[in-house]
Amino acid sequence: MEAGAARTPLEEPTDEAAATDTHAVVVRYESMVYGIALTHTRCRGDADDVFQDVFLTYHRRQPECASEEHRKAWLITTTLNCARRVAGSSWRTRVVPLNPHEAEAPPDQFQFATDEQNVLFRALRALPENSRTVLHLFYFEDLPVNRIAEVLGLETGAVKMRLSRARAQMRDRLQGGLFDE
């Protein structure tokens, strides 16, 4: 097939071309996908699983994206859906630890480079999913409010309200700690 020629829906990309395309997408969006997965699953192991699922799905489907913004929106939506599926899995809701102290310990603790980063991440992951999502997309992915609304299928006003409430929740969680001057 000539370069630039459109693929018909029945034609599969060659394994080499698909692998090259997928590799470029993984390199470009790995931190975004992993960051969203980590803030929504709250566990490094689950975030790893979501990360793999997202890019495996991308590789298998090879979605036609009109622009990089469209590809980014597809990856964000797929990551959120995979993270929700992992967090709401029947295994997670039915498993009872043999040791009662395991239930109290947070899953898969890890440390960031600074105390400020650790405090921010703990405060962020303690927020409800709606709040985490808009904060992450706005501050970490630099998406404007209207783009977040498109990606999440919400009205712009709803995103602004969630963002405002999420900021207030973060402010409340961070008071009396490292961020008080």
Helices and strands in the chain, H and E counts: 9, 0
Structural domain ending residue among the three candidates 62, 80, 106:
106
pLDDT tens, position by position, 14-31: 556 556 688 999 999 999
User: Whole-model pTM?
Assistant: 0.70
Neighbours of 108 (CB within 10 A): 13
Cα dist. 99→93, 96, 105, 174 in Å?
Answer: 17, 9, 11, 32
Domain that holds residue 161: 111-181
- As to burial, measured by CB atoms within 10 angstroms (0-12 exposed, 13-18 middle, 19+ buried), residue 55 is buried
23 and 55, same domain (yes or no): yes
Interval 69-95 mean pLDDT:
86
Task: Quote the CA–CA distance of 130 and 128 in Å, as a whole number.
Answer: 6
CA dist 71 and 64 (Å) reads 8
Instruction: With respect to residue 7, please indicate whether it lies within any of the assigned structural domains.
Output: no
Domain end, chosen from 58, 91, 106, is at 106
- The token duo for 128 is 């409800």
pLDDT value for 97: 63
The answer to whether residue 5 sits within a structural domain is: no
Domain count, the chain: 2
Are 57 and 140 in the same domain? no
What CA–CA distance (Å, rounded) separates 96 from 67?
45
96 and 24 in a common domain: yes
The answer on 127 and 87 residing in a single domain is no
Burial class (CB in 10 A: 0-12, 13-18, 19+), 39: buried
Based on the domain organization, do 138 and 168 belong to the same domain? yes
| CATH number of the domain residue 25 falls in | 1.10.1740.10
Q: In this predicted model, what pLDDT tens digit does every residue of 103-118 receive, in sequence order? A: 444 454 566 778 887 7
pLDDT band at 140 (very low <50, low <70, confident <90, very high): confident
Both tokens of 88, joined, read 């709401």
Q: Which band of pLDDT confidence, cut at 50, 70 and 90, is reported for residue 49?
A: very high
Considering the domain architecture, whether residues 24 and 97 belong to the same structural domain is answered as yes
Distance CA 102, CA 172 (A): 28
Q: Is residue 132 part of a domain?
A: yes
Is there a single domain that holds both residue 116 and residue 99?
no
Query: What percent of the chain is helix, strand and coil (3-state, nearest 5)?
Result: 70, 0, 30
Q: pLDDT tens-digit profile of 121-138?
A: 888 888 898 898 899 899
Domain boundary among 42, 71, 106: 106
